[in-house]
């Protein structure tokens, strides 16, 4: 029997509830597919600040490194809004990404047909976009700092404090993520869009030249380039024409929220952060910790359940178990089960809380 070690980080807000739900579903899939999963719990984010004074304790990073995969709920909340920037809960995420070398972030934005009325777009069509976001480079991890300047601006104002964050990318960093995006496009509709700002940024021009080199190895994939500002418009006007998008850390952060919103099901969207083969991947829902509904039973567990399925597929290579979970989620949606975030007009819907949605998915795994 294959056996895997899973590092579990429940985190803050609704994190503990949705991770609990995903573990129940994972256990059911594991028993049906003859896999053994061993969980170890670690602290990160606000709860780690409260108990150890820092967002990412060393035991957490070490524990994650020693596991086969990491399942994470969400971190952060208003309680820690005034914490010094270098100790904010979000630093835990950045520390995990860089500490585990998770350079590739897969964010599928998929429209569930039954939920299309929740999309803010009138006629979105069949949206199924895979955003491949670079995750350990660019402005998030570039040189940054601040200094005082007494220079005078053209209107006579003193410049004062100057702050800077640097966008920098090496060919190697670009090559590994773009290559992965081509590979992923090969397994889908063979359309890849590189989103950048090459009319202004040198880093973007380097992305383009590396992509133009790599495309020779993938003659079947059609590659096109889109400026990020234009991309935000095209995502609204023709979302169903995108297949795979590859982009930098900063642009990927922004457009993945937009793409998620277009599907109308932000509470449904999972993500995978992957590194070199053999490194544990990190799997988390793309929504946040939603502290306003924590403990109320209103949280939609499906994004975390689908993240657990991605974990089975991408880190553990357990395709059958992943398929089982994904199809159970689809069946639960088709059968009408709806948490508050995805409720529509009510007809044919079964309104449920976190607990009942989890039970519905487990039930559908037997069907």
229 is catalytic: yes
Interface map 251-290 toward ligand IPM (x if CB under 6 A): --x-------------------------------------
Considering beta carbons, is residue 45 or 57 the nearer one to ligand IPM?
A: 45
Q: Site for ligand IPM (CB under 6 A): how many residues? A: 3
253 is catalytic: yes
196 is catalytic: no
Separation CA 86–CA 279 (nearest Å) = 26
Separation CA 7–CA 333 (nearest Å) = 29
The answer to whether the beta carbons of residues 283 and 71 sit under 8 Å apart is: yes
- Strand bridging mode 158-165 / 244-247: unpaired
Q: 128, 165, 257, 359: which is the annotated catalytic residue?
A: 257
Closest CA to 170 of 131, 210, 133, 112: 210
12 is catalytic: no
- Least Å from the CB of residue 74 to ligand IPM: 9
If binding is defined by CB under 5 A, does position 253 make contact with Mg ion? Answer: yes
Candidate list 90, 165, 323, 359; residue touching ligand IPM; CB under 6 A: 90
- Least Å from the CB of residue 253 to Mg ion: 4
| Helices and strands in the chain: count of H runs, count of E runs | 11, 14
Separation CA 109–CA 43 (nearest Å) = 28
Number of Cβ atoms within 10 Å of the Cβ of 161: 8
Considering beta carbons, is residue 93 or 316 the nearer one to ligand IPM?
A: 93
Residue range at the interface with Mg ion (CB under 5 A); choices 13-21, 250-258, 276-284, 319-327: 250-258
The secondary structure element, H or E, covering residue 148 is: strand 144-152
39 is catalytic: no
> Out of Mg ion, ligand IPM, none, which partner does residue 90 contact, by CB within 5 to 8 A per kind?
ligand IPM
The answer to whether the beta carbons of residues 114 and 281 sit under 8 Å apart is: no
Please report, as ranges, the residues that interact with ligand IPM according to CB under 6 A: 90, 93, 253
Please report, as ranges, the residues that interact with Mg ion according to CB under 5 A: 253
């Amino acid at each position: 029997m294959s056996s895997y070690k899973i590092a579990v980080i429940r985190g803050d807000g609704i994190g503990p509830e949705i991770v609990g739900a995903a573990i129940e579903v994972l256990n059911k899939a594991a028993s049906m597919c003859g896999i053994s999963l061993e969980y170890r719990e670690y602290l990160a984010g606000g709860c780690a600040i409260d108990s150890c004074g820092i967002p990412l304790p060393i035991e957490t990073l070490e524990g994650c490194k020693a596991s086969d995969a990491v399942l994470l709920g969400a971190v952060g909340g208003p309680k820690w809004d005034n914490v010094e920037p270098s100790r904010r809960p979000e630093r835990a995420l950045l520390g995990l990404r860089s500490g585990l070398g998770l350079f590739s972030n897969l964010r599928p934005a998929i429209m569930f047909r039954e939920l299309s009325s929740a999309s803010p777009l009138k006629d979105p069509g069949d949206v199924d976009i895979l955003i491949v976001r670079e995750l350990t480079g660019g402005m998030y991890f570039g040189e940054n700092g601040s200094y005082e300047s007494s220079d005078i601006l053209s209107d006579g104002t003193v410049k004062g404090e100057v702050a800077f964050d640097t966008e920098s990318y090496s060919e190697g960093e670009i090559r590994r993520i773009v290559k992965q995006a081509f590979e992923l496009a090969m397994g889908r509709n063979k359309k890849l869009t590189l989103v950048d700002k090459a009319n202004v940024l040198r880093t973007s021009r380097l992305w383009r030249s590396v992509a133009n080199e790599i495309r020779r190895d993938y003659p079947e994939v059609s590659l096109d380039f889109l400026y990020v500002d234009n991309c935000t418009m095209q995502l609204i006007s023709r979302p169903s024409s995108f297949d795979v998008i590859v982009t930098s850390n900063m642009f990927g952060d922004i457009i993945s929220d937009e793409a998620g919103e277009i599907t109308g099901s932000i509470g449904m969207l999972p993500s995978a952060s992957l590194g070199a083969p053999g490194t544990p991947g990190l799997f988390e829902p793309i929504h946040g910790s939603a502290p306003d509904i924590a403990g109320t039973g209103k949280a939609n567990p499906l994004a975390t359940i689908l993240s657990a399925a991605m974990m089975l597929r991408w880190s553990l290579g357990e395709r059958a178990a992943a398929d089982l979970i994904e199809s159970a989620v689809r069946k639960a949606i088709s059968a009408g089960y709806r948490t508050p975030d995805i409720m529509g007009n009510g007809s044919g819907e079964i309104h449920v809380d976190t607990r009942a949605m989890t039970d519905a998915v487990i039930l559908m795994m037997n069907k």
